A = this chain, B = another copy of it.
Amino acid sequence: MKKSRVSNAVIRRLPRYYRHLTELQATGVARISSNALGKAMGFTASQIRQDLSCFGEFGQRGYGYNVETLRGEIADILGMNEGHTAVIFGVGNLGRALIGNFNFGKNGVKLLAAFDVDEKIIGTELAGVPIRHPSEARAFLESNHVDVGVITVPKINAKDVARLLVSCGVKGIWNFANTDLDIGDNGNTVVENVHFADSLLALSYMISEE
């Protein structure tokens, strides 16, 4: 199926399939039926078969899925083997958490550099990632292939960073600045906004009185 025809809901489920298959593989499970996979993930077997059918034929009737194979196929579909690269803007608490504790490499993304205005950390490295001044960012983006810009700067600076990333042709923005980045018609940059509040409010709903 053409990529653009795959629904957002299916795209959102793909990383969860990947995560569950990774866990299954780690615990030594070699194959699994769509029924069992569905049960573990809270989906129906038919939903799983339907989701995966967007991308090809994976399972085998009466056998189920080979865990390692399916995990590899989904990694491919997710673009994890394309050698994606990223830079991050903002080395505050959240930036440090991502650089130090989030495993970009495990997700097929290489973090090349970080940018921050704090003179005390410029020129140093954090978890092997060099930290530079934002004034060097444009030159860096123009002389390195960068697929993703991660934004962990304060909300007020997020739009400027986004504009820079778009103007340098970066394909994706992973935005933690707690503001929806409307980048308009400037190129083909895809924005993935992370909203902590949406998650907390869903939890708030679930624990509230009837």
Contacts and interface: CB of A to CB of B under 8 A. Distances in A.
Interface in A101-129: 101-104, 106-109
A196 interface: yes
Given A97-B92, A210-B3, A174 B197 contact: no
A62 B104 CA distance: 50
Interface stretch (A10-18, A29-37, A135-143, A159-167): A10-18
> How many chain copies?
2
A207 B100 contact: no
Interface in A141-165: 147-148
A196 to B, nearest CB: 6
A45 B106 CA distance: 40
A133 interface: no
A190 interface: yes
Contacts of A200: 104, 107, 109, 148, 174, 192
A103 B200 CA distance: 11
Given A195-B19, A197-B107, A205 B93 contact: no
A194 interface: yes
A204 B147 CA distance: 9
A192 B174 contact: no
Interface in A53-107: 77-80, 82, 84, 92-94, 96-98, 100-104, 106-107
12 contacts: A12-B198, A14-B205, A15-B198, A19-B198, A93-B93, A93-B94, A98-B196, A107-B200, A148-B203, A148-B207, A192-B202, A194-B199
Given A11-B202, A15-B202, A148-B203, 5 more contacts: A12-B202, A79-B209, A80-B201, A82-B208, A94-B97
